[in-house]
Amino acid sequence: MYCIIDIETENTGTDIMEDNKRILSVQIGDDTIQNLYWADSKNPQWTLKSAKKEIASLLSQGVVFSGYNIKGFDVHFLKQFLGVEIPEASILDLCQSPRITQSTGKNKVRLEEACAACGVKVTHKQRMNEKAKKYKSMEIHKEKALAKARELVENRGWSQDFSYNYALDKIAGGNAIYDAYLEFVKSGGQKNTLFYEYAIGDVISEYQLLKVLGY
């Protein structure tokens, strides 16, 4: 039995691994039922502590946790921030599927690209991308992206334009997600908020991708 697990983190920096401050939410489910556990929940049913108990319970039932880049991101931070360790045998990383490489002609692609290649909708990303645009226009973020771009050009050999846009995308996206999370907290965890729809949208898309890939 497969189950999607996905997380959102507080990261408004340029490095998707080094700049994370905490886990904001843990989402678990498939394309029919999804649960979202969050850091500031006043309801004990939906706290991160409850997420830990749910993960342990599912592992005891033999569930295999799946997700996109789960080994490179989610599993790492579940262990770092929550002390949750998911055994290698209980992990299926969709980004390692040969079909995605064959369909895209690339060894490493974003979830949106993988879904597009496999006919899976990821329209839930659009609203968050729109929200991120205002952060891209702020001078403070442009300056931060420019500084990071210089580092990337020197250390990775990337072009100046690519490095700048890469860094600015990370900053803007992180700020948009965190801002949406704060609005979600203020609402008391309402399901009709941008953060909830974005986080749960990933679970649904990743589960649909899992099925398309034949798992």
> What integer pLDDT is reported at residue 99 of this predicted model?
87
Q: Residue holding tokens 């001078």?
A: 139
Calculate mean pLDDT across residues 57-84: 97
% the chain with pLDDT above 70: 100
> What integer pLDDT is reported at residue 103 of this predicted model?
82
Is 36 buried (19+), middle (13-18) or exposed (0-12) by CB count in 10 A? buried
Tell me the average pLDDT of the chain. Answer: 95
Calculate mean pLDDT across residues 178-186: 98
How many structural domains is the chain composed of? 1
Identify the domain containing residue 162 by its residue range.
Answer: 2-212
| Under 8 Å between Cβ of 47 and 41 | yes
**pLDDT at 160 > cutoff 90:** yes
Both tokens of residue 73? 């991101």
Calculate mean pLDDT across residues 7-24: 95
> What integer pLDDT is reported at residue 151 of this predicted model?
94
What is the per-residue pLDDT across 103-123, written as a single tens digit (0 to 9) for each? 888 888 999 999 999 999 999
- Nearest-angstrom CA–CA distance, 92 and 83: 20
